Structure formats: C-alpha cells, structure tokens
Amino acid sequence: MSSDYQDQRLDRELMQEQLQAAVLRGQLGLVTGEDDAVSVWLGELAVRLSDDTEVVRLDASQAHSASGLVQALARALDVVPDDLLAALRERAQTLPLALVVDNGECLGSRALDTLRNLLAKAGGGLGVLMGGDPELADLLSEARLEPVFRATADDEAVVSAEAPESVGAVTRPWPELVPWKHLLAVVGLLLLVWLFWPADPSGGASTTSLELPAPESRKTGSGVDEPPDPRDVPDNARKGEKNTSAQTQPRPSSATSGEPEQMATESQGDPAETPEPQASPEPAVDPSSLDAELAYRGEDWLLMRPPERWMLQLALAGDEKRARDLLDRLGPERGAYYRARRDGEVVYIVLAGPYGSRDQALGARSGLPGFFRERGPFPRSVKEIAAEIRD
C-alpha cells in the first residue's frame, strides 16, 4: 500500500471522526464537495452515528421548507411539533439527536433560521451534519450558522476508501450484473413446458384396421377349460358369413351392446397381462404462477400491512426499473417499493422490512448489505407510508 494512499485514508478517517464528534456534542459539522462524494460521506457518517444515537436523514432537495424540517424531527422523536424543543432538551441529558442533511444548499432561508434557533435553544440536544455544494458554506455564513468543523469530500478519497487495493474506478463484479434469478426462472419455465407439453396423439402413424381376435376359452374355478361362449362370437362368424368388411369393424362398446365392459378383459386371459390404460399427459404449468413468485412487492402489498409495523427507507430511484434493480440487490422478498411525488417529480422509494417495531427496524440495519448501510437507512412507519400512497 503506497504512502499516498495511507495519507488519504488517514485524512479521511480523521475528518470523519471530527465531524462525528461535533454532531455528538450537539454542534454543526459541514461536508462540501461533489454531489456523489458528499452523499457517500454522509451515508458513512450516518451509519457511524447510528451506533451511538438516533439519526434523522433529510434530503433538502425534496423537503427544503422550515415545516418539513420540523416535521421530520418531530416524527423521529414521536412528538407533536409544538413539543419538539422540549423533547430536544431532554435529549441533551443523554446524547443529542443527529440530523444529517444532504443537498443543504436547497434549504430555504426560513429553514436555515429555524435550524439556527433549534441549535441555539436545544441546549446540546440536537447535532447537525450538513452536506452540499461548496457554495453551502457561504449560505450558512449568511444565515449566521457557523460549523465547528468543515471537511471537503472528493472523488479520490471516495475511491480510495471503497477499493484500497486498486485506486481507480470502482467496478462491480460481473456476477452482480447478471440477473440470475430471472434467467433461472425462464430456464425452469422452459424445462417444465418441454417436459409436460402434450404430444401428438396420432404420432404421425397411419391408422390400420385390425381383425377381432377369436375369443379364447376360459377356465373355471376347477381348472377345466370351458368352450367359448357363443355370445362372444360375432353374428357373421356363427352364420358362416365371409364378409371381410365386418371383420375390420371394431366390437361395439358396452354402452351400445349392453354387455359388461369387463367381458373384453376376461376373454384375454390373465388380467395381469392386460396393458394398463395410458395416462393422459399433464397440462403445461401456468407461467403466471412463476410470475407471481417473482413479483415485486408494491403499493398494494404495503397497504395490506398492519399500520403499527415499520420499514427501513433505503433509497430513492428515478424510475421503476432502477427501483427493481435495487430490490434485486437486496432480495425482492426482503423489501418493497412504491411511487411517490417529491417537488412535483415522480420517484420510487425502496424499502426494507417490515419489522415489528421501530427498535427492530433500527437493529435490522446491521444486517443489510454494505451498499445500503453506507447510505444511512432510516425507519418509517407503515402508517405514514400508507398515508403517502393514498395521497
């Protein structure tokens, strides 16, 4: 490992430790730089902070008003907005509530004033970590919000932390790029269709008329052969007629002749030698059943969950295909997604869960793949999600 990388890694660790310490003291920390790099830093710091205290994540590009800021904090503390300040002061007795704000340059002037007042009056019960473009520092200065520590996130530091053995572009291994579950489902469906597709009954063979076999003698219980029953001999045979056309016609069924259907089998000797009737081929498997197993959980599924359950919000996707790709990475059976509107634009929110309580949802974050843990998932109640879907 080169000394340059060691210096980069050390600088990154020291800066993040300073930012984390500032938030846990109930103060303001600032990260500026490129959008992707800042988002990764905020995600990593949110995971670190969640080991010590409760974290509230806010994307200012979606909720940039003062009311949106207050409501997010009130929901996290499970209080009404009027009791928010009192609840934050209670948190000062233990550890402050951590607010992580991405795209901070989108916050309005009233939201910044509200944030300044909360920091000043909460008595250390609220710590804020804000990230955004370099111009965010000037906006905070104009709003009289001075961070106690500021760090700059760049793409080089992000790459070095994610791939220490190869400083450069981060590439995903090729097995993650192949939709194995979909391919296996298609192969399985084709195999079932091939196995159970009904064959051609005729088999391409020509139909040939066969003469009726002469009835064999039957044995009695004492082992003595009995002469053939005259009723088993066709009428034209008893009368000595030599009509060849009559010999090629099949024997009338029991439905028309009135004879028991079992008589035909008795005339052939041992019943064990009689071939069993061929079972009709089973119908092909309905492909819709496989589609149901592979279906993604959506809005209908979420609306059927009990309102007291909780989910973890993992990410926001710009289109439905991206949302499904993220669920494939998590496992479709482990989460769901739904469509929502943010600032007039349609987005797809990807969730994990459900969980029985908010504490269970917080504890489940450690079991998520690292890709999602780095983005700082946060809990949301099913009641709140259902209300947003219905709106």
pLDDT of residue 16 exceeding 60: yes
5 with 148, same domain?
yes
- Please state whether beta strands 225-226 and 218-219 pair in parallel, antiparallel, or not at all (unpaired): antiparallel
247 located within any domain: no
225 located within any domain: no
Q: Using 50, 70 and 90 to split pLDDT, how confident is the model at 232? A: very low
DSSP string spanning 183-227? HHHHHHHHHHHHHHSPPPSSTTPPP---PPPPPPPEE-TTSPEEP
Q: What is the mean pLDDT of residues 335-348?
A: 91
Residue 223, pLDDT score = 47
Residue 172, pLDDT score = 46
Long-range contacts formed by 82-86: CB under 8 A, 24+ apart: 84/118, 85/118, 85/121, 85/122
CATH number for the domain harbouring residue 313: 3.30.70.1070
146 located within any domain: yes
Residue 359 exposure: Cα atoms within 13 Å on the Cβ side: 0
The reported pTM is 0.41
Q: What is the crossing angle of helices 35-50 and 155-162, to 10°? A: 50
Q: With beta carbons less than 8 A apart as the criterion, state whether 389 and 299 touch.
A: yes
296 with 160, same domain?
no
Residue at a domain's end among 167, 199, 229: 167
Q: With beta carbons less than 8 A apart as the criterion, state whether 379 and 54 touch.
A: no
10 located within any domain: yes
DSSP string spanning 84-111? HHHHHHHHTTS-PEEEEEESGGG--HHH
Domain interval for residue 78: 1-167
Report how many domains make up the chain. Answer: 2
Instruction: Give the best-scoring range by mean pLDDT among 117-126, 161-170, 353-362.
Output: 353-362
DSSP string spanning 59-88? ETTT--SHHHHHHHHHHHHTS-GGGHHHHH
Model confidence pLDDT, tens digit, residues 245-304:
444 444 444 444 444 444 434 444 444 444 444 444 434 434 333 334 447 899 999 999
Residue at a domain's end among 124, 150, 167: 167
163 with 291, same domain?
no
342 located within any domain: yes
195 located within any domain: no
Q: What is the mean pLDDT of residues 139-147?
A: 91
Residue at a domain's end among 167, 187, 207: 167
Instruction: Give the best-scoring range by mean pLDDT among 33-37, 78-82, 130-134, 347-351.
Output: 347-351
96 located within any domain: yes
Residue type at 311? Answer: M
Residue 284, pLDDT score = 43
143 located within any domain: yes
CATH number for the domain harbouring residue 41: 3.40.50.300
Q: Within 10 A of 302 (CB to CB), how many other CB atoms are there?
A: 21
pLDDT of residue 50 exceeding 70: yes
7 with 141, same domain?
yes
pLDDT of residue 243 exceeding 90: no
